[in-house]
Amino acid sequence: MENLLYKSGIVLHVIAGFLALTSGLVAMSYGKKGGKIHNLSGIVFYWSMAVIFVTTLLFFVLFPNNLKYQFFLTIGIVSFYPTWSGKRMLKMKKGLKPTWYDMSAAFLVGVSGLVMLGYGFLLLFKYEISSPFVYLFFVFGIVSLLNAYGDLKYYLKFKSEIKMHWFFAHGGKMIGAYSAALTAFCVNIVPRFLPENFPSFGQMILWVGPTVVFAFISAKILKKYKVKMGVV
């Protein structure tokens, strides 16, 4: 039964991953924002990311002591939260009015970020595990905390939202989710083509690369729209 669940999960995970990477690229690159192509590809991206998260959770439940699946769970959280909250932003076009589940999700992703950081330190110092996965717990733990802070500062009224906040939040979150999905792809595929003596630090740079690159792309794109809409 466990083997059947795992194999079925792998098939769904691979199909959803392919759909997420292709539909996300279409949503970012083609069609008018808010147009038919953008909306349709966005829906495919959202549900593909949902399937990826559910199957990642399944792998963790099946193999909770496997470091790889522990790490994949962190990517699942980092990638699905902005996907979900990015979609929620479309419901707040008339004003930022978070519900209890918006608030709860933001708090929970913040807590998960703290857990990632704590677990990373535990593996590093108590068990002396030197796998690059350990250091990536730190990276994605910080990303989770930034995601939580980015929403809670507005939800709790520590900061007032800017004009067209929903638009920029939606765009930034979806690009961030796509970069996390691409990271998961790189973690799975890139090591298979690297030489056996390739340094682990080099692998970590390859895996963190998509996050850095897409953070730069996101900043450039959103700045262009802010200038266009007269926000800056």
Q: Show me where the domains of the chain are located.
A: 67-229
Q: What percent of the chain has pLDDT over 90?
A: 53
**Across 92-101, 188-197, 206-215, 217-226, which has the greatest mean pLDDT?**
92-101
Instruction: Summarize pLDDT for 107-152 with one digit per residue, the tens.
Output: 999 999 999 999 999 998 888 777 778 888 998 999 999 999 999 9
- The reported pLDDT for the residue numbered 34 is 76
Give the dihedral sign, CA 159/94/147/174. Answer: negative
- The reported pLDDT for the residue numbered 232 is 62
Instruction: Summarize pLDDT for 79-116 with one digit per residue, the tens.
Output: 999 999 999 999 998 889 999 999 999 999 999 999 99
pTM of the model: 0.89
183-186, long-range: CB < 8 A, 24+ apart: 183/75, 183/79, 183/207, 183/208, 183/210, 183/211, 184/17, 184/52, 184/72, 184/75, 184/79, 185/17, 185/21, 186/210
